[in-house]
Amino acid sequence: MIDVPDTYDAIGYISDGNGFPLTSFARPVPQPKDNELLVRVLSSSLNPLEFKLADLNFFGNKPPVALGFDVAGVVIAKGRNVTDFAIGDSVVGMADCDGHGGWATGGQGGYAVVRSYLAAKKPEAVSFQDAGVLPICFLAAYLGLKPHVEGGETIYIPGGAGGVGHLAVQMAARTLGAGLVVSSASTDHNRQIASDCGAYAVIDYKSPDASDQLVALTKGEGFDIVFDATYSEKSFEQTAHLVRPGGRWVVLGVGPGRTTRTSVTESRVDQILASKGAMNINANVLSFFGEGKLIDGDAQFFLSTGMEASMRWHSEGVVRPLIAKAVNASVDGINSGLQSLREASGGYGKIAVALSSSESSY
C-alpha cells in the first residue's frame, strides 16, 4: 500500500514574475487525468527554464507554481487509458512545464503528473539520478538533431560541455552517424568534456580566430548542420556564418532576437542564412506545451521514442549524462544551484536534485 499525503511542500515561485529566489509552499498532491501518470519524484535536475519561468511566468500559469520538470521516480497512480505503465514502475519523464513540476522539500520525494508519451520505463541499470537529469536536455538535443542529421554530414555544436551540448555531441557522434562532429567551449576543462563526448575537434569559442579554425576544419566549405543550443545572440551570429551554402542551422527555443523573452532585439541571423540559401530550423521542446496545444499522434510518438532512446542509449553506454554536482531537496540548495546556472559560462554537464534520501522510499 502506497502512503500518499494530501499535501506536500513543493518548491517553486509564488509571484507572477520576479519569482526568483524560489520558495516552498503547501500544495495538494495532484491527481492524474486521462493518459497521465502521477509520479513520486525521487530525482530531478536544474534547467535554465526554471529560473526563466520564475522570472517571467511566460506560460501565464497562476502562482504558486511548483518547478522541477525533469522527473525520475515511481508511478503511484495513473489516469484512464494508460496501458504501457503500471503502478510501481520506475520511470523517467518530463512534467508539463506549462503546469507544475516535482520539486519538494524534506527528502521524502515530490509529486508530478507526467503525460504517458513523455515518460519511459527506467531500466534497473540506470540510476534515478542519471535518469532525472536527462529529460529536457535530452529531448532538446533529440528534437534538434534526430530529424535533421543525415549520415556522414559535418556538424558543429557550440558549447559541447553544456547541459544540452554534451548530450548533443554524444548523440551526433555516436548514434546518428554524423561524419565530423566539432564543438567548442570556453575552458580547457569544458573542451576536454566535449572531446570525451566524441567531438573530433573542440575549439575555444572566445579565441579571435575561432571562426577561421572552424571553417578550416571543413576545408573551407562550412558545416552541413549547426546545432546552436547556447541561447547566446553572439554565438547565433557567429555560428550562422559557419553553415555551408544550402546547409541547415538549428536553434532551440525562441530563437535569434528573442532570447530575452521580454523584447525583440536586432539579429542578423536571418539575413546571414538567407544569403547562403541555408535553412533556419527551430526546435523547441516548449512548443509542445501551452494552453490549448494539441499534440498529434506523430508528435506523441516522436516524444515517446525520444524518452525511450534516452534510457536505451544510456544502457548501451553511448549517450550518458555528466553530473557536475547534486543539490539536496531544499529551497536554499535549489536556489544556489539555479543561481550558478544563471551565471552560465564555465559550468558543465548537469546539476542533479536529490529529492529523496532513499531511492526506494515510495
Task: Quickly list DSSP for 174-190.
Answer: HTS--SEEEEEESSHHH
Which residue, 30 or 222, has its beta carbon nearer to ligand NAP?
222
90 touches ligand NAP by CB under 6 A = no
Alpha-carbon 282 to chain mean position: 15
162 touches ligand NAP by CB under 6 A = yes
Which residue, 77 or 94, has its beta carbon nearer to ligand NAP?
94
Q: Where are the alpha helices (DSSP H) in 244-296?
A: 269-276
161 touches ligand NAP by CB under 6 A = yes
Task: Decide: residue 51, CB within 10 A, 0-12 exposed, 13-18 middle, 19+ buried.
Answer: buried
DSSP secondary structure letter of residue 61: P
Cell 571543413 appears where?
A: 218
Q: Which of 62, 80, 219, 234 lies at the binding interface for ligand NAP (CB under 6 A)?
A: 234
Q: Which of 44, 45, 235, 335 lies at the binding interface for ligand NAP (CB under 6 A)?
A: 235
Listed ranges 94-102, 171-179, 195-203, 340-348: which one lies at the site for ligand NAP (CB under 6 A): 340-348
Per-residue mark of binding to ligand NAP, 296-335 (x: CB under 6 A):
----------------------------------------
Cα–Cα dist 297/138, whole Å: 20
195 touches ligand NAP by CB under 6 A = no
**Residue 276 contacts by C-beta under 8 Å, 6 or more apart in sequence?**
222, 243, 244, 245, 246, 247
94 touches ligand NAP by CB under 6 A = no
232 touches ligand NAP by CB under 6 A = yes
Cα–Cα dist 236/251, whole Å: 8
Q: How many residues bind ligand NAP (CB under 6 A)?
A: 35
281 touches ligand NAP by CB under 6 A = no
Amino acid at position 215, single letter: V
Which residue, 25 or 59, has its beta carbon nearer to ligand NAP?
59
218 touches ligand NAP by CB under 6 A = no
Q: Render the burial of 303-329: b for 16+ CB within 10 Å, e for the rest.
A: bbebbebbbbbbeeeebbbbbbebbeb
Backbone angles phi, psi at 20, to 5 degrees: -105, 135
Per-residue mark of binding to ligand NAP, 116-145 (x: CB under 6 A):
--------------------xx--x-----
Question: How far does the chain reach from its first CA to its final CA, in angstroms?
Answer: 9
Amino acid at position 177, single letter: G
Which residue, 218 or 284, has its beta carbon nearer to ligand NAP?
284
List contacts with ligand NAP (CB under 6 A).
47-49, 136-137, 140, 158-159, 161-165, 184-187, 190, 205, 229-232, 234-235, 252-253, 284-286, 341, 344-347
